[in-house]
Amino acid sequence: MADPTQYLRIEIDGAQYLLPSAASLAIEQRDHLVVNDTDDTPAAAWRVTKSARWPAYCLDRGFQPVKHGRWQRAVFLEASPHPIGLMTGEAQLMARTEVRVEPFSPPGPAPTRFGQLFNGAWVEGSRAVLVFDPAALVGYLQALGGRQ
């Protein structure tokens, strides 16, 4: 998914968002992840590799971590020291002809030291779909795990 003009439409707690497809490193189905059933971390699940566990976070509409079962896959984003995941109900690649994203700056202070979570919007009829800023999203997810 290296085309920066394409987007993944993802669902978080029933709401739709776009993520630049170039930011996505991997998409894993639920059955390929190890679900977290402890309270020692806000991560909902992990993708286990030979050398590390990649955490994946499930968020509610207020972008707070939750551990409910309403996700089907995780979208993993490039991050250091290892990729970090965001749970989604769906992940659909949108062709560049289907989406026209316009710059958007949310009001108020940024929720992370990396800036606002959104940097664009796609207006589809009377509905606006916000576009994640990948760097800010990664920073926010890492902060949930205590790595800011």
Domain presence at residue 68: yes
Cβ atoms 44, 66 nearer than 8 A: yes
Q: Is residue 34 in some structural domain?
A: yes
Which residues of the chain fall short of a pLDDT of 70?
1-4, 146-148
Confidence at residue 147, expressed as pLDDT on a 0 to 100 scale? 52
Instruction: Provide the whole-model pTM.
Output: 0.90
The DSSP 8-state label assigned to residue 64 in this structure reads -
Residue 37 lies in a domain: yes
Decide if 2 is inside a domain.
no
Domain assignment present for 117: yes
Q: Which domain does 94 fall in, by range? A: 7-144
Asked whether residue 1 is assigned to any structural domain, the reply reads no
Q: Which of 43, 23, 27 is nearest to 35 (CA)?
A: 43
Closest alpha carbon to 113 in 63, 148, 71: 148
**Residue 29's pLDDT is what?**
94
Per the structure, how many domains does the chain have? 1
- Residue 11 is predicted with a pLDDT of 94
pLDDT of residue 65: 93
Structural domain contains residue 92: yes
How far is it, in rounded angstroms, from Cα 129 to Cα 101?
Answer: 9
Cα atoms in the 13 Å half-sphere on the side-chain side of 60:
7
84 part of a folded domain: yes
